[in-house]
Amino acid sequence: ATSRLLVNYQEPYRSQILDYLFKPNFGASLHILKVEIGGDGQSTDGTEPSHMHYENDENYFRGYEWWLMKEAKKRNPKIKLIGLPWTFPAWIGKGENWPYDYPDVTAYYIVSWILGAKHYHDLDIDYVGIWNERAFNSKYIKLLRYTLDKHGLQQVRIIASDRLWEPISFVLLLDSELHGVVDAIGAHYPGTKTVPNALLTKKKLWSSEDYSTFNDEVGAGCWARILNQNYVNGNMTSTIAWNLVASYYEELPFGRCGLMTAQEPWSGHYKVEAPIWITAHTTQFTQPGWSYLQVDGHLKGGGSFVALTDGLGNLTIVIETMTYNHSQCIRPPLPHFTVTPQRATFYLKGSFYVVKTLQVWHSRLDFESGRSSLFQQLHPVKVWKGSFSLDLNMDEVYTLTTLKTGQKCGYPEPPPPQPFPSNYKDDFNIRNPPFSEAPNFADQTGVFEYFINASDPGDHVFTLRQVVVQRPITWASDADQTISLIGNFMWVNMTVTCDIYIEKQRDGGVFVAGRVDNGGIYVRRTKGVFFWVFADGTYRVTGDLAGEEILMKGLSGVRDNVWHTLTLSIQGTSASGMLNGYPLWENVTISQPSNGWAAVGTRSFEFAQFDNFHVEA
């Protein structure tokens, strides 16, 4: 759920961000895009909608991944696409929190997503994963391969298991049928190392999720080091950064752990961070299908190099000399090492002996002044009798290449940063919305979608509706309530007004909230000021999403299947609430939290509608 805010950017800024990421020989020139196969559950920074909320439901226009894949392909038709599920809708497990009891159902569900990508969006998915960072099931993987083939999807490759090197490597060595259907072993945060069993499988080895580090200069150093050393130390020929672009509220978990930052669609502000240009050192001068040369890539004075060729005479060498303090990733812990200034001599032999000059691209990360030099073209290096020498300092990246196509491109500075508007309204009155979700709402449990209320007499035809009615097969600790956040985490005093419509009889309920302090994988422990009304005619004010810390309760007269207006006002240490414009409760004392987002949501996984949302902060 990390590209949530990207879709709301106005042009030209949205296209500029996409160009920095995907346009060949422009910025990051990415080779591969991995997306979540939404499953209605919390996957780190929010929920992504499933293409099948219910068993009899199919919709290939929800969420933003279809759009993102199309934008990537539009810029680079050769980009590789991967889909991987984190969560699954409840019906897959028939009541159990487990996707493998009915492996034929799960395989049908995943293959439907791949077929939908092709049928509705003309997208060819290249690789599909099993279940992010959770158990794999050999029977399911074989059935997935069988189901793919049955639907003519022989070209879709399977990657497993998006967790650790073991037990998948060991199981592949034992089970020859499984060995035949898994194309690549994907490990997460391998710390540039692999294991003997993985090498013995002779499979492609991938770091299929890595980086996940704050995108300052140290994050760039981490990324430079692992892009090389995942191959040098661990024989990995693909490294995939979580995440593509930090387009989610920064105070959610792992804020700004993207290759660049685009978390202000309301202002148009974005920032091309250093990891974008570190990426370019590799991606602009190699392509999928190029081969790593099997050389020992450790440099004597510390640091590393890799060499790649297209097999047609082109050669690219990438060198990095990242120091220990300046290249620590978020995980795993990094063993200490030293890097010193050094002179390195490279010898080109065989068919590369004829190379006379190499183009040079250089970056130097500066940790004192913060004035790094990023992806600059230097004078070409002359190769004399098959060799050349370079003086290498610390925290540098060099690319030496026969290719002359490299470019450092850019756009004029985007608008300056601005906080989220302090007066914000959405009436959801949009007949053909470009996306299924309303702008800036970040769902943290449940899924909130635009809805057309055909039976409504007029005021509430177009609404926002919570549509997940059974707890999904979860990946994280989703809440027992549904919640969608919006606004500015630093907000203190605010008035939140929203029309609400409880659909569930007897025990249905909805809330509006302010000073909401948590989301993502921590959503269960969310605190704030929550104003609830229930179908049984009662109301509550609580200090938490779980509803355990009761600050006030009483009768409201609210009924299900009738529209009501809730207003929550928070000023300093005091809160009050109105129902349909009349005071319902007041002077409730608030101690914690001192600030946070606004939010709407429901008491359980239940249908409910919201309209005419308005926050003044």
Average pLDDT, whole number, for the chain? 98
Q: How far is CA 458 from the centre of its chain?
A: 38
* Percentage, residues of the chain above pLDDT 90: 98
Q: Which of 133, 251, 503, 616 is catalytic?
A: 133
User: pTM higher than 0.95, yes or no?
Assistant: yes
> 467-500: per-residue pLDDT in tens?
999 999 999 999 999 999 999 999 999 999 999 9
Nearest to 243 by CA among 46, 404, 433, 435: 46
Closest listed residue to residue 57, CA positions, set 419, 436, 376 = 436
Is 133 a residue of the active site? Answer: yes
209 is catalytic: yes
Instruction: Name the pLDDT band for 456 (thresholds 50, 70, 90).
Output: confident
Q: Distance between CA 431 and CA 291 in Å, rounded?
A: 50
Paired with 451 in beta bridges are: 463
Q: What is the mean pLDDT of residues 214-224?
A: 98
Domains of the chain: 12-270 (3.20.20.80), 423-616 (2.60.120.560)
Exposure on the CB side of residue 514, measured as CA atoms within 13 A: 29
The string of pLDDT tens digits covering residues 265-298 is: 999 999 999 999 999 999 999 999 999 999 999 9
Residue where the block lists tokens 């997935």: 144
CB 129 within 8 A of CB 84: yes
Given the residues 209, 264, 320, 396, the one annotated as active site: 209
Which residue in 214, 425, 399, 240 sits closest to 308, CA to CA?
A: 399
Per-residue model confidence as pLDDT tens digits over 115-166: 999 999 999 999 999 999 999 999 999 999 999 999 999 999 999 999 999 9
At which residue do the structure tokens 């196509």 appear?
405
Query: Residue 455's pLDDT band (boundaries 50, 70, 90)?
Result: confident
Read off the pLDDT of residues 23-51 as tens digits, 9 standing for 90 and up.
999 999 999 999 999 999 999 999 999 99
| pLDDT for residue 457 is more than 90 | no
Reported residue count of the chain is 617
